[in-house]
């Protein structure tokens, strides 16, 4: 009889340890979820043949919105070819969700001297 009780106590202790481990993992997971911030939106003005700001650091999942404030059309085109706003007329905007980490350089197809960069972390 003593052997059966010892065996039950061993399984009970293992179950209690497993339950405690699962509860701790749930608390850690919930805490990590609470520390993530919601995606943000960042504005880039196209003004006087420049991107303002020329360099921008954003988080993965953030949105960047380019708005053309010049009287001529412009583009925001990735040097890698990964994305392109197409021609933006005066007061027209284009949105891009930062879905790949890294350093992304871009320029205006119509005015190649206009250059900018987005750092996605």
Task: For residue 53, count other CB atoms closer than 10 A to its CB.
Answer: 13
| Mean pLDDT value of segment 40-67 | 98
What the block records as the tokens of 92 is 């027209």
Residue 37 is predicted with a pLDDT of 84
Tokens 């749930």 locate to 26
Residue 32 is predicted with a pLDDT of 52
Query: Where along the chain do its domains lie?
Result: 1-36, 41-120
Pick the closest to residue 64 from 91, 38, 100, 95 (CA basis). Answer: 95
pLDDT tens figures, 70-103 = 999 999 999 999 999 999 999 999 999 999 999 9
Tell me the helix, strand and coil percentages in the chain, rounded to 5.
30, 35, 35
Write down the CATH number for the domain with range 41-120.
2.60.40.420
């Amino acid at each position: 009889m003593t052997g059966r009780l010892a065996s039950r106590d061993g399984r009970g202790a293992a179950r209690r340890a497993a339950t405690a481990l699962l509860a701790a993992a749930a608390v850690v997971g919930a805490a990590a979820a609470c520390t993530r911030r919601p995606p943000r939106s960042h504005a880039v003005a196209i003004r006087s043949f420049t991107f303002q700001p020329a360099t921008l650091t954003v988080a993965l999942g953030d949105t960047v919105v380019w708005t053309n404030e010049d009287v001529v059309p412009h583009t925001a085109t990735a040097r890698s070819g990964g994305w392109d706003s197409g021609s933006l007329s005066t007061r027209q905007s284009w949105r891009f969700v930062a879905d790949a980490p890294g350093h992304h350089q871009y320029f205006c197809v119509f005015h190649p001297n206009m250059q900018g960069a987005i750092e996605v972390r």
